Chains A and B, each alone.
Chain A
């Protein structure tokens, strides 16, 4: 829609005035080079230069525990429950914007997930550009997420003493009006923004030995039997960290909880992980993905092949979280490269 400018000197005021209107969450340092999205009241609490947070902002879009219905056995009644909270999420990197877009696609697919779609509309997203790589684990270029590609209300790019802000939606305009801190930009600022983007096109290189368009074909039927998965089988400890931190893992389990009156209760969904032992276990004790290698393979196919076929989009956002968090140092980039080498793929 249009660009505006926010002086860095006014950033603290911007967050504190925003926090007076809405709940604001943003990346906050947790020590040990770790960050998490948490509620903030002022700009000082925010770390602007951060590597991807432990959990992605998906935790606000699909809460870890979410009540779906409440029931009463004696009255034989069930009531649908919609839980949401209005919120502004500040500082979302382009990888995480892509993650939210993936979740939007999945939960809009039939049957539509009303709880998700209602909640999503209560969340305002302010993006924040990475002017450089966050660390060696990111692979955002190969999945084409290193540059902004929509999915935000406002988008901040850091210039010298100011942020140039892309106002993308009506909700974004509302924030501009309510906080009254944004000023018009000059052509000079747009030139600087273009220079940053031009530099990024230089720095960001496809991080694996495979071209963007060929990733899907790499995960072919033959790759299903690859030795790569046997290697991962020996290394993975099934701690479920990779799926918990993934911005596009959306698997959930649904549980009925009864209250201590043994009459009323609720039906709740909670995050699940395909990496755990019981995930693919069914009645009778059969387990469809018995080994850790089979479960890791499933995770990779679930990022690079199945969604590419169904939604024409990779569900890896290149954020690097799975590699960063893995106790066994299983690396997404290494796995993709190993598959490519095995298939004698030439770029």
Chain B
């Protein structure tokens, strides 16, 4: 029997699921391997009986916490899908503000009808088996992770900088063009997708586990880039990382 796959969305734009719907021919190959039983964006049928849960979006309300825990109980394998699910993503910007204040700013008089908690990535609430980073997800990596999950083998997100892949693509370094780029602190695996297309790295894959703080500060100084400027850029996708930093070290 083919594994049953269900897609779920939490706080997100559902763009990563749209990527899947846009896969083209590879989608047919994937459908040979799995039965999709729940996928709100592309089908009306739904089922509570699934093996693999692919979760898009970050966890931002108490209701989300309950719901995602129930998904974990039912699924044999949980895949966090996209930046919001893997690192909190841009929804994490909320964590910079007083939650009550920011709720009023967004919902005005309606604020009293909503509950809110600090934005968390999925693995900050439940155990996650596979991570598919990126905003939106990078199709070649999605296929890699799906193949790993179907074979029951681990997938390691590369724990080195985007620069490693960027240099192999012979891109001219953004810093040499006088532009700040988050490549040096962001996990690779996207084949420097944005820089190949003339854009900077926004850090949507999350930070490497061991960023060189001293070295990075030297570089900022050399290029005369203010620190808070870069921190702001990092926070755009990565604010919820602080929830992990606060945890006592084992």
Chain A interface residues toward B at CB < 8 A = 30-32, 34, 36, 54-55, 64, 234-241, 244-245, 258, 260-262, 271, 273, 276-278, 292, 325, 327-329
Is A237's CB under 8 angstroms from B184's CB? yes
Is A240 in contact with B163, judged by CB distance below 8 angstroms?
Answer: yes
A278→B30 CA distance, assembly (Å): 30
**Interface of B: prevailing SS:** helix
Q: In the assembly, what is the distance between CA of A26 and CA of B173, in Å?
A: 21
User: Hey, which chain B residues are within 8 Å of A34, CB to CB?
Assistant: 172, 176
Known pairs A237-B161, A278-B159, A327-B163; list 12 more (Cβ under 8 Å).
A36-B170, A54-B167, A55-B168, A234-B218, A236-B212, A237-B215, A237-B219, A238-B160, A238-B212, A277-B159, A277-B209, A328-B218
B72 within 8 A of A: no
A327 touches B184 (CB 8 A): yes
The 9 closest A-B pairs by CB, nearest first: A239-B163, A276-B160, A260-B29, A240-B164, A237-B215, A237-B212, A244-B167, A54-B170, A234-B214
Q: Which residues of A contact B216 (CB under 8 A)?
A: 237
Q: Which residue of chain A has its CB nearest to the CB of B30?
A: A260
Complex Cα spacing A260 to B151, Å: 11
On whether the beta carbons of B214 and A235 are closer than 8 Å, the reply is yes
Residues on B facing A (Cβ under 8 Å): 26, 29-30, 32-33, 143, 147, 150-151, 156, 158-161, 163-164, 167-168, 170, 172-173, 175-177, 183-184, 208-212, 214-216, 218-219, 222
Within the complex, which residue of A30, A236, A277 is in contact with B215, where a contact is CB–CB below 8 Å?
A: A236
Using known A-B contacts A235-B218, A238-B160, A327-B219, determine if residue A271 contacts B29 with beta carbons closer than 8 Å. Answer: no
**Interface contact A240-B161, CB-CB below 8 Å:** yes
Residues of B within 8 A of A325 (CB): 167, 173
A241 touches B33 (CB 8 A): no
Which of A54, A235, A260, A273 has a CB less than 8 Å from the CB of B164? A273
A329 to B26, CA, bound (A): 43
Residues of A within 8 A of B33 (CB): 260, 262
Q: Give, as a whole number of angstroms, the nearest-CB distance from A311 to chain B.
A: 26
Task: For the complex formed, measure the closest distance between the CB of A170 and the CB atoms of chain B, giving whole angstroms.
Answer: 32
- Do residues B32 and A327 form an inter-chain contact, with CB atoms below 8 A? no
Residues of B within 8 A of A31 (CB): 172
B218 proximity list for chain A (CB < 8 A): 234-235, 328-329
State in angstroms the CA–CA spacing of A15 and B170 once bound together.
Answer: 24
Q: Which B residues are in CB contact (< 8 Å) with A64?
A: 168
Cα A234 to Cα B33 in complex, Å, equals: 48
